[in-house]
Each structure stands twice: as C-alpha cells, then as structure tokens.
C-alpha cells in the first residue's frame, strides 16, 4: 500500500487534483531532483490560489462596506433630523 492510499478520501482527492495541476509544468521540474521541483511547483500553485482567494475576499469586503455606507449615512441624517425637532 502506498503512502497516499492511507490518506482520508478528501485529502487524497485534494492531493490528486494538485498533482494533476502540476503536470502542466512537467517540463519545468523534469530531470534531476524532479520530485523536489514538483513540490515547489505545487507550492507555487497553492500560493497563487491563496492570493486569488485573498483578492476575492478583499473585493467582497469592499463591496460589503460600500453597501453599508448609505444606510449609515441615512441613519445619521435621520437622527440629526429627529434631534432638530
């Protein structure tokens, strides 16, 4: 039994997906120390995924904040109007 067969199914699925993605860069890591180079390619791909998720999260936060601002302005204007009466 190979080591990856001892992984739980979800982890093995993620591993297999990552290995398939690294195959696109096989030319970059073939040859001497190919397995180590493949790990670096996988690490770079994961880093890219994290950066994309962070960008999407930042954009969602900005959209959320801009959606909240008009309500806050309206609330403060309403409060000022109520206080003036």
For the ranges 3-12, 32-41, 72-81, which has the lowest average pLDDT?
A: 72-81
Q: How many domains does the chain have?
A: 1
User: What is the tens place of the pLDDT at every residue in 9-52?
Assistant: 999 999 999 999 999 999 888 888 888 999 999 999 999 999 99
According to the model, what pLDDT value does residue 84 have?
Answer: 77
Asked if the model's pLDDT at residue 57 lies above 90, the reply is: yes
Task: Provide the residue range defining the domain that includes 32.
Answer: 3-84
> For tokens 């999260």, what's the residue?
57
| 0.85 surpassed by pTM | no
In whole angstroms, give the CA distance from residue 61 to residue 32: 45
Contacts of 77 (CB under 8 A, 6+ apart): none
According to the model, what pLDDT value does residue 18 have?
Answer: 92
Q: String of b and e for 27-40 (b: at least 16 CB within 10 Å)?
A: eebeeeeeeebbee
């Amino acid at each position: 039994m190979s080591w990856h067969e001892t992984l739980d199914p979800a982890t093995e699925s993620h591993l297999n997906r990552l290995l398939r993605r690294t195959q696109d860069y096989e030319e970059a890591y073939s040859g001497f120390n190919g397995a180590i180079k493949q790990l670096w390619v996988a690490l770079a791909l994961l880093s890219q995924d994290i950066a994309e998720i962070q960008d999407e999260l930042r954009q969602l936060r900005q959209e959320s904040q801009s959606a909240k601002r008009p309500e806050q302005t309206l609330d403060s204007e309403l409060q000022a109007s109520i206080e003036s009466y």
